Amino acid sequence: MTVAVIDYGAGNLKSAAKALSHAAKATGEDVIVTADPDVIARADRIVLPGVGAFAECKRGLEAVPGVVAAMSEAVLDKGRPFLGICVGMQLMATVGVEYGEHPGLDWIKGKVVKLTPSDPALKIPQMGWNDLRLRQPQHPIFGGLATGAHGYFVHSYHYLLDRPEDLLADVDYGGPVAAAIGRDNLVGVQFHPEKSQAVGLALLGNFLRWNP
């Protein structure tokens, strides 16, 4: 069993892969950091990390020949489990509006827009720990976790979902902010599991055991 971590120059690539490798000690998967479309298309699970601006990450992803097509083949055609992390989650959207409008992968309908907390004392970006509110606590990605678990966030934009049923968890940051989204074999988290200590490792382990 192989887990392909997509290599397109994402800033948190190594830390995400290291955390996955740690979680995989209990589940036995091989974690491979790769930009090879053939490896991605054959992989049993796909992870897309990401930090920075939406448009920059999308350009980086499209600049690696064959990667988007291979991801689509593995995830949409073959139904392999997919995890997007931070901007990797945001890229699942229909469109992102950071520095203009930019098309996303359009895997989970919605728009990525600037955070606008109702409390002016809350700084942008949201940076640090926040309590997760599990909206679908029965989802396998949350095995062993409960509302109040802490995730570590660093972001200035957030995901507005078209369909409420695609929201798995949110946080309060001057209003509700999507923290985890999903449908079918797709899951995305706005927080960084690789920086979220025991909670993050538990979530990654759940992803590696998930069979949608």
Query: Which of 90, 93, 66 has the alpha carbon at shortest distance from 6?
Result: 66
Name the active-site residue from 86, 98, 139, 155: 86
Q: Tell me, yes or no, if 86 is annotated catalytic.
A: yes
Name the active-site residue from 102, 139, 158, 192: 192
Query: 3-class secondary structure for 103-145?
Result: ECCCCCCEEEEECCCCCCCCCCCEEEEEECEECCCCCHHHCCC
SS3 192: coil
Name the active-site residue from 29, 57, 158, 194: 194
What's the CA gap between 25 and 56, in Å, rounded? 33
Q: Tell me, yes or no, if 57 is annotated catalytic.
A: no
51: how many CB neighbours lie within 10 A of its CB?
Answer: 19
Q: Tell me, yes or no, if 73 is annotated catalytic.
A: no
Residues taking part in catalysis = 86, 192, 194
